[in-house]
């Protein structure tokens, strides 16, 4: 039963990592690409680490795998947000598919 759970988790984690890589190649601008990398990449890496924890079954490996998942969950969204904000401030504008640019409206409010 453990082998089946580990196998399914590996397939699921690999699917999310592949989706993140596909998003990096296919999306139009830096903001869409960053979203794909931070969301799907974090989920895929987390599921792969949990599969490792289930497969190993040793307390030290499980502890490190859970710590890795928590580290990914805490750092990836925050770093993606900061990088996107820095890219916007430097001058990378969203693509034409972006309907509402809330950051531009927030910056206009600060200037007034």
Q: Is 41:76 a contact under the CB 8 Å cutoff? A: yes
Q: Rounded to two decimals, what is the model's pTM?
A: 0.81
88-110: string of b/e by CB count within 10 Å (b at 16+)? beeeeebeeeeeeeeeeeeeeee
Q: Is 94:101 a contact under the CB 8 Å cutoff? A: yes
In CATH, what is the architecture of 2-111?
Answer: Orthogonal Bundle (1.10)
Pairwise CA distance, residues 13 & 41, whole Å: 9
Q: What's the mean pLDDT when you consider all of the chain?
A: 90
Pairwise CA distance, residues 75 & 19, whole Å: 20
pLDDT-based confidence at residue 109 (cuts at 50, 70, 90)? low
Tell me the per-residue pLDDT of 78-104, one tens digit each, with 9 for 90 and over: 999 899 889 988 988 888 887 777 777
Where in the chain does DSSP place strands (E)?
A: none
pLDDT-based confidence at residue 112 (cuts at 50, 70, 90)? low
């Amino acid at each position: 039963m453990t082998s089946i759970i580990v196998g399914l988790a590996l397939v699921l984690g690999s699917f999310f990592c592949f989706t993140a890589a596909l998003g990096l190649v296919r999306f139009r601008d830096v903001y869409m690409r960053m979203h794909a990398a931070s969301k799907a990449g974090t989920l895929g890496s987390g599921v792969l680490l949990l599969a490792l924890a289930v497969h190993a079954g040793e307390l030290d490996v499980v502890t490190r795998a859970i710590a890795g998942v928590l580290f990914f969950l805490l750092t990836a969204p925050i770093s993606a947000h900061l990088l996107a904000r820095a890219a916007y401030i430097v001058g990378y504008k969203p693509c034409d598919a972006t309907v509402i640019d809330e950051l531009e409206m927030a910056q206009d409010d600060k200037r007034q």
